[in-house]
Structure 1
Amino acid sequence: MENFKTIREVASLWKKDKQQYVKQSSLSAYSLILENHILPAFGEKQQLAESEIQDFALRKLQEGLSQKTVKDMLIVLKMIQKFGVKMGYMPLTEWCVKYPTEQKKQELEVLSISHQRRIMQYVINNFTFRNLGIYVCLSTGMRIGEVCALKWGDINLTTETISVCRTIERIYIIEDNHRHTELVIGTPKTKNSVRDIPMSHELSKLIRPLKKVMNDDYYILTNEANPTEPRTYRNYYKCFLKQLGIPDLKFHGLRHSFATRCIESQCDYKTVSVILGHANISTTLNLYVHPNMEQKKKCINKMFKTLK
Structure 2
Amino acid sequence: MAKSGPNYKVNGKEYYRVSLEIGRDATGKRKTKFFTGKTKKEANQKKQEYINKQILGLKDTKTLWFAQTFNSWLFEVVKMSDIKPTTFARYEGLYRNYINDSPLACISIDKIEPMSIQRYYNDLFKKQKKSSSQISYLNKFIRKFFNYCVDCGYIVNNPCSGNKISLPKEKRSEAIAKKVEIFTDDELNKMLNSDDCKIKYISLFSLATGMRRGEVIALKESDIDIKHNEIHIRRTIATTAIFDENNIKTKQTIVQEPKTKNSIRDIPLPNSLKSIIKKAKLIRNEEKFKAGESYSTKNLDYLFLSERGNFINAGNLDKTWAKFLKNIDIPHKKFHTLRHTYATKQFENDIPLKTVSTLLGHGDIGITADIYTHVLKKQKEKSVDILEII
Match of 1:150? 219
Question: Are residues 1:91 and 2:156 paired?
Answer: yes
**Unaligned 5+ residue runs, structure 2?**
1-48, 51-59, 286-298
Match of 1:82? 147
Deviation at 1:100, TM superposition (A): 4.2
> How many residue pairs align between the two structures?
302
Question: Are residues 1:65 and 2:130 paired?
Answer: yes
CA–CA distance in structure 2, aligned partners of residues 188 and 23 of structure 1:
10
Q: TM-score if structure 1 supplies the norm length?
A: 0.87
Match of 2:276? 206
Q: Secondary structure at the match of 1:298?
A: coil
CA–CA distance in structure 2, aligned partners of residues 223 and 231 of structure 1:
15
**Counterpart among 83, 98, 101 of residue 40 in structure 1:** 101
- Residue identity in the other structure for 2:339: R
Match of 2:317? 233
CA offsets per residue over residues 232-280 of structure 1, 9 Å max, x none?
1111111111111112111110110011111111112222111111111
Question: Are residues 1:246 and 2:311 paired?
Answer: no
Match of 1:107? 179
CA offsets per residue over residues 201-220 of structure 1, 9 Å max, x none?
11123324765996852442
CA offsets per residue over residues 172-216 of structure 1, 9 Å max, x none?
245777443232221111111112222211112332476599685
Match of 2:258? 188
**Counterpart among 16, 23, 26 of residue 87 in structure 2:** 26
Identify the range of structure 1 (206-215 vs 50-59) with the bigger mean alpha-carbon deviation. Answer: 206-215
CA–CA distance in structure 2, aligned partners of residues 155 and 86 of structure 1:
46
**Counterpart among 355, 366, 372 of residue 271 in structure 1:** 355
Match of 1:257? 341
Structure scoring higher RCO (CA < 8 A, sep ≥ 6) equals 1
CA offsets per residue over residues 93-131 of structure 1, 9 Å max, x none?
543124143232201000112212321232xxx222222
Deviation at 1:289, TM superposition (A): 4.3
- Residue identity in the other structure for 2:135: V
CA–CA distance in structure 1, aligned partners of residues 180 and 279 of structure 2:
35
Q: Is the 8 A contact 1:58 1:99 kept in 2?
A: yes
Percent identity of paired positions between Structure 1 and Structure 2: 25
CA–CA distance in structure 1, aligned partners of residues 205 and 85 of structure 2:
27
Q: Is the 8 A contact 2:136 2:167 kept in 1?
A: no
Q: TM-score if structure 2 supplies the norm length?
A: 0.70
CA–CA distance in structure 2, aligned partners of residues 199 and 293 of structure 1:
28
Q: Is the 8 A contact 1:141 1:256 kept in 2?
A: yes
Identify the range of structure 1 (184-193 vs 159-168) with the bigger mean alpha-carbon deviation. Answer: 159-168
- Summarize the alignment of residues 114-153 of structure 1 with structure 2, pairs less than 5 Å apart: 114-122=186-194, 126-153=195-222
CA–CA distance in structure 1, aligned partners of residues 378 and 263 of structure 2:
33
Which one has the bigger helix percentage? Answer: 1
**Unaligned 5+ residue runs, structure 1?**
none
- Residue identity in the other structure for 2:329: G
CA–CA distance in structure 1, aligned partners of residues 233 and 379 of structure 2:
37
User: Which 4+ residue blocks in structure 1 deviate beyond 4 angstroms?
Assistant: 174-178, 208-216
Deviation at 1:149, TM superposition (A): 2.0
CA RMSD of superposed structures (Å): 2.7
- Larger radius of gyration between Structure 1 and Structure 2: 2
